Structure 1
Amino acid sequence: MKVLPIADLIVILCYLLAMIGVGFYFSRKNRSSEQYTKASGSIPGWAIGMSIYATFLSSNTFLGVPGKAFGGNWNAFVFSISMPFAAWIAARYFVPFYRNSGEISAYTHLEKRFGPWARTYAVVCFLLTQFARMGSIFFGIALSLQALTGISMKLIMIVMGVCIIIYTLLGGIKAVIWTEVVQGVIKTLGAILIIYLIVTNMPGGLPKIIEIGKADSKFSLGSFSPNFTKSTFWVVLLYGFFINLNNFGMDQNYIQRYHTAASLKQAVRSVWLCVCIYVPASFLFFIIGSCLYAYYSVYPELIEIIKHQAAIEKLPVSASAAQIAGMAAHLTPADYGDKIMPHFMVTKIPAGLVGLIVSAILSAAMSTISSGMNSSATVFTVDIYKRYFKPGINERQTMNVLHVGTVIFGLVGMGAGIAMIGVKSILDVWWTLSGIFAAGMLGLFLLGIISRQSRNHEAIVATIIGILVVLWMTFPDIIPAEYTFLHSSMHANMIIVIGTLSIFLVGVLLTKVRQLKLARSTNHSS
């Protein structure tokens, strides 16, 4: 078992204790559900922007993005390029809409438009998205710390989960936002430090990295051909636009922050600040992946142990040494990309600095998980418990439900992380699951806010059709083998694009058909 030096362990312990201390500090100010979920509208716009940025820049980015760049190219960076387009729509329409509504939940509007079923459906989609997000992040942080310490991934998730639950439970949204401000700074500095360490350890420095990257097309943004069956530039651009539109327009994590701002101007400013920081910050992580690829191209012998470990995970326990060696020889960088940065950390980063890097990775995980726990508890309390079980509960009872919900959703997130042990790519899993769960609620939301004439029954039919389309694209095996021509050949990232458009366009079409019928009947009667 690997053991971190005492200096690194002290740095990590101090960081964890500081985060819990923040929770205790803000617990004194959480006397009502208004303070716990909205911070009474007292957070400055710059802090909210940093908080949103920290939520975006999760451990999926910290570990998954360098892994993708190491195993492939910069195709996934197109996701970041799409963000300003979605942010413009959010700042122009969504943020004012939610601020004017005054509703803490993102999904109350859907009940007003289409009825209780729409609100409940969106809440279920949101909670499933949060379980996927928290699970993938728990998994990512456990993967890193296991490489550094040798401790089991399950135990790491449990310890981390308990720490996150404590400070989120005590501090509410204020603790979440202010810890995320600190975490956003730490994780960005951590990325810069990693780049510096790789470049200084690389023979030939940055010019050699660029030379190797160009030779192996590591800086490519993907094919520009109009092919939607592969991860082309256009597929990732569309995916990024729709998923970011969902994040800024339907995700309770972000919408709840709009309400913590003192004014609409501050809320809008927070969206743009997030974009202005996230796009260049995500670029740093692609640089890390390319730097690692170049470094291990020069020193291929240094990753034999990683390939060996990846081969063991793919084979049965009874596999022989020859079988493991044979499997390892055939692995590509994409097969062990998620393991490469933890491996560099444990072998090349000096004692003391490892603790800082681990704290950066912890901050990347903790910020998103704590945000997911708080927003999930808020949605459960407002949209489920108060709506269907006890509408007239008082402040003390509301706070109790929020606290219990925070703990439960934290435990569920841990369970989802444990279930993901063994997946090939953190980023791929998160992108696929988020696309599946987000497609339905984004399409329904756009139908409700854009098509003012659409009614309840049209929304129901459109949603059912959209769900069937998502299922068809997600599970191609549900189509019998003899009807292979009916199988979806589109890339998995297109699920949110096609699913969203299916609900929205079908709903608009049904509305137009009803209006035409009504116009004809009116003409006949006259």
Structure 2
Amino acid sequence: MIEFGALNWGILITYIIANLLLGLVIGKKIKTDEDFYIGQKTTPWWAIGISVIATYVSAMTFLGAPAWAYNEGLSVIAIHLNYPLVIMAVIIFFFPFFYNAGVASIYEYQEKRFGKRARALISSLWLISQTMSSAAVLYATSVVLSFITGIDVIAAIFIVTLIALIYTVLGGITAVIWTDVVQSVILFTGAGIIFYALAQESSFSIMDALTQLKSEGKLNPLNMDFDFTATSTVWSGVIAMALYHTTVYGTNQMMVQRTLAAKNIGDAKKSYLLMGFVAFFIYFFFIILGVLFYAYYQGKPFENDNTIILQFASDYGMPGLMGIIAAAVMAASMSSLDSAFNSLSTVTTIDFYKKYFKQGKSEAHYLKASRLFTLLWAVIIIFPAILYHLHSSGSILEVLSKVGSYFVGAQLGMFVLGFFFKQATENGLLVGTGTGFVVVAAVAIGTDIAWPWYCLIGAGTNICITLIASRILDGKQHTLSEYTVKGQIKKFADEGWAEKEHGWYRLPGKIDPINYWLFAFFIATLLFLSSLQYLV
């Protein structure tokens, strides 16, 4: 605990009140359940893009990336090299299916392609995985509040949940997006101040620190070893984590839902392209922070590595800084929690409640149900957050990634099978997905293979077993589903539909020209990192 003071409390409370007021104002425009899920399709693409960035950066990056890099050095950046490749894959293949189908829950695609059981399965998988991931975000933020105010971590978990819940219930996805925009400004302002203060306080220059770290093996960003037990290698980053992040950005309702609020598919793609071009710089910045903290503190151990950035802010002693940092971390957390609450409610309402329990009710009824489910999921998330508090002390970013790795292979495999494999059937899919879980669990328990590879293992197993089981259980398929890539191409040709809308492709598999620039940017980041160790 540190002395927080009236100024810091004033900054933090002002931030909280501003978020609640914004939710209240936007909430007055919410009239239907569709307004709650995807807004009124008037949100500008840049706001959606900033919301996407803020949601995935979250408190995990603000706290966890420096903590991770503090221990492992610059090699951690390998996990985040793949965003340009990921964004290309998602906007080329995933977005056209979701937009052409006109869905609010992206898992409706699975029913259109396979059937009701497939949709229920992937919706359930996502509900579980998102609950665990959101709980990790909630825990990370509560660690901050406990550190700076002395509030018990468990009490802080309840407080943060309540604040994020109120404005999400009021304003739906539109409130989520606009509060994320405000929160991202606060987040990066706080991070910028910390970086400046670290540079000013250090008795050595940044270049001196990097030189020292290079001699200690902390400055090698590209580990080229073919070591499947190592987490941060180029191969795990470019191959394994590319698949992992494709699942996050392409099959995760929380991430995709906000793009469905865009005016058209072009705006949706531009919002994701923003992430593709800036993600590297964001993660590189926070990882460099961790490396510099290592030099500043001479590698001394911390009881909880996630508090390193907070400890420095406390030591620096700038008036109001801890208030800004507290607001920044709460901003990072709530930008993820509000999205999670809204998307968990959306999937529960559309994929289960509206489909199986209360069909044909009024829009007002479903809006009320959505808000009640938002409350329910907020309460549920509290319990795994408490478990994280009791059992976790390492980098919370790594903890979150490990938790997600158990589920992403199943989700990615289901969509890949739907897009590209005519012979995949629903019966085979259920068998393949179950087998994939068993294989991933066996690998995690019985081997030393690093968690980034779990997605590839799970998805690969799912695809292979599904195709075999489909042929055994249902025989050879002669009808081409219109919800495969080839099926969409045929349907566009048969119906005479335009391949483009406002200059952007609606047809899956077609590459918009800006994707070539995104790929060139990916190559440039590799070249930059390759040369970095020779420049120091």
Could you tell me the TM-score, scaled by structure 1's length?
0.87
What's the counterpart of residue 319 of structure 1?
Answer: none
* Higher deviation after alignment, 43-52 or 455-464: 455-464
Q: Which string of whole-angstrom CA distances, capped at 9 and with x for unpartnered residues, describes residues 133-170 of structure 1?
A: 11111111111222212211011111111111001110
Query: Match of 2:297, SS?
Result: helix
What's the counterpart of residue 426 of structure 2?
Answer: 456
Q: 8 Å contact 2:49–2:275 — kept in the other structure?
A: yes
Q: 8 Å contact 1:197–1:349 — kept in the other structure?
A: no
Task: Give the distance between the partners of 2:370 and 2:464, measured in 1 at CA.
Answer: 37
Query: Match of 1:166, SS?
Result: helix
Q: Structure 1 residue 27 and structure 2 residue 27: aligned? A: yes
**CA 1:516–1:127: 2 relative to 1, 3 Å:** closer
Q: 8 Å contact 1:105–1:378 — kept in the other structure?
A: yes
**CA 1:220–1:472: 2 relative to 1, 3 Å:** same
Q: Which string of whole-angstrom CA distances, capped at 9 and with x for unpartnered residues, describes residues 347-385 of structure 1?
A: 224121221122111111000010000000000000011
**CA 1:85–1:159: 2 relative to 1, 3 Å:** same
Q: 8 Å contact 1:147–1:346 — kept in the other structure?
A: no
Task: Give the distance between the partners of 1:417 and 1:515, measured in 2 at CA.
Answer: 43
Q: 8 Å contact 1:134–1:414 — kept in the other structure?
A: no
Q: 8 Å contact 2:423–2:476 — kept in the other structure?
A: no
Q: Structure 1 residue 505 and structure 2 residue 464: aligned? A: yes
Task: Give the distance between the partners of 1:33 and 1:143, measured in 2 at CA.
Answer: 35
* Residues 324-363 of structure 1: pairs in structure 2 closer than 5 A: 336-363=304-331
What's the counterpart of residue 250 of structure 2?
Answer: 249
Deviation (angstroms), 1:12: 0.5
Q: 8 Å contact 2:83–2:279 — kept in the other structure?
A: no
Q: Which string of whole-angstrom CA distances, capped at 9 and with x for unpartnered residues, describes residues 6-34 of structure 1?
A: 11110000000000011101110001111
AA matched with 1:87 = I
Q: Which string of whole-angstrom CA distances, capped at 9 and with x for unpartnered residues, describes residues 431-478 of structure 1?
A: 11101122212111111121123222221222222122122123x2xx
Q: 8 Å contact 1:70–1:293 — kept in the other structure?
A: yes
Deviation (angstroms), 1:82: 0.7
AA matched with 1:501 = G
Deviation (angstroms), 1:430: 0.7
Q: 8 Å contact 1:134–1:416 — kept in the other structure?
A: no
Q: Structure 1 residue 219 and structure 2 residue 207: aligned? A: no
Q: Structure 1 residue 423 and structure 2 residue 424: aligned? A: no
Task: Give the distance between the partners of 2:245 and 2:354, measured in 1 at CA.
Answer: 29
Deviation (angstroms), 1:393: 1.8
**CA 1:362–1:516: 2 relative to 1, 3 Å:** closer
Q: Structure 1 residue 400 and structure 2 residue 368: aligned? A: yes
* Higher deviation after alignment, 104-113 or 226-235: 226-235
What's the counterpart of residue 390 of structure 1?
Answer: 358
Task: Give the distance between the partners of 2:74 and 2:349, measured in 1 at CA.
Answer: 41
Q: Which string of whole-angstrom CA distances, capped at 9 and with x for unpartnered residues, describes residues 317-371 of structure 1?
A: xxxxxxxxxxxxxxxxxxx422211211222241212211221111110000100
Deviation (angstroms), 1:195: 0.7
Task: Give the distance between the partners of 2:375 and 2:45, measured in 1 at CA.
Answer: 28
Task: Give the distance between the partners of 2:322 and 2:259, measured in 1 at CA.
Answer: 36
Could you tell me the TM-score, scaled by structure 2's length?
0.85
Q: What is the alpha-carbon root mean square deviation over aligned residues? A: 1.9
What's the counterpart of residue 286 of structure 1?
Answer: 287
The one of 422, 436, 454 equivalent to 1:495 is 454
What's the counterpart of residue 16 of structure 1?
Answer: 16
Task: Give the distance between the partners of 1:518 and 1:243, measured in 2 at CA.
Answer: 30
Task: Give the distance between the partners of 1:420 and 1:137, measured in 2 at CA.
Answer: 10
What's the counterpart of residue 109 of structure 2?
Answer: 109
Deviation (angstroms), 1:515: 10
What's the counterpart of residue 189 of structure 1?
Answer: 189
Query: Match of 1:58, SS?
Result: helix
What's the counterpart of residue 483 of structure 1?
Answer: none
Query: Match of 2:228, SS?
Result: coil
* Residues 222-301 of structure 1: pairs in structure 2 closer than 5 A: 223-231=223-231, 232-297=233-298
Task: Give the distance between the partners of 1:263 and 1:141, measured in 2 at CA.
Answer: 35
What's the counterpart of residue 415 of structure 2?
Answer: 445
What's the counterpart of residue 149 of structure 1?
Answer: 149
Task: Give the distance between the partners of 1:221 and 1:207, measured in 2 at CA.
Answer: 16
Q: Which string of whole-angstrom CA distances, capped at 9 and with x for unpartnered residues, describes residues 391-417 of structure 1?
A: 222111101110011111112222221
AA matched with 1:162 = L
What's the counterpart of residue 487 of structure 2?
Answer: none
Task: Give the distance between the partners of 1:182 and 1:452, measured in 2 at CA.
Answer: 45
Task: Give the distance between the partners of 1:61 and 1:136, measured in 2 at CA.
Answer: 12
Q: 8 Å contact 1:56–1:278 — kept in the other structure?
A: no
Deviation (angstroms), 1:77: 1.5
Deviation (angstroms), 1:112: 2.2
**What is the identity percentage for the equivalent residue pairs of Structure 1 and Structure 2?**
27
Query: Match of 1:41, SS?
Result: coil
What's the counterpart of residue 83 of structure 1?
Answer: 83
* Higher deviation after alignment, 44-53 or 123-132: 123-132
Deviation (angstroms), 1:518: 8.5
What's the counterpart of residue 376 of structure 1?
Answer: 344
Deviation (angstroms), 1:118: 1.0
Q: 8 Å contact 2:313–2:321 — kept in the other structure?
A: no
Task: Give the distance between the partners of 1:245 and 1:432, measured in 2 at CA.
Answer: 16
Q: Which string of whole-angstrom CA distances, capped at 9 and with x for unpartnered residues, describes residues 32-71 of structure 1?
A: 1111111121111111111100111110111000000111
What's the counterpart of residue 512 of structure 2?
Answer: none
Query: Match of 1:398, SS?
Result: helix
Deviation (angstroms), 1:510: 4.8
Task: Give the distance between the partners of 1:518 and 1:152, measured in 2 at CA.
Answer: 59
| Structure 1 runs (4+) greater than 6 angstroms displaced | 512-519
Deviation (angstroms), 1:189: 2.1
Q: 8 Å contact 2:190–2:325 — kept in the other structure?
A: yes
What's the counterpart of residue 314 of structure 1?
Answer: none
Deviation (angstroms), 1:3: 3.1
Task: Give the distance between the partners of 2:183 and 2:130, measured in 1 at CA.
Answer: 20
Task: Give the distance between the partners of 2:183 and 2:241, measured in 1 at CA.
Answer: 24
Q: Which string of whole-angstrom CA distances, capped at 9 and with x for unpartnered residues, describes residues 177-220 of structure 1?
A: 00111112221222221111001000022222212221222222
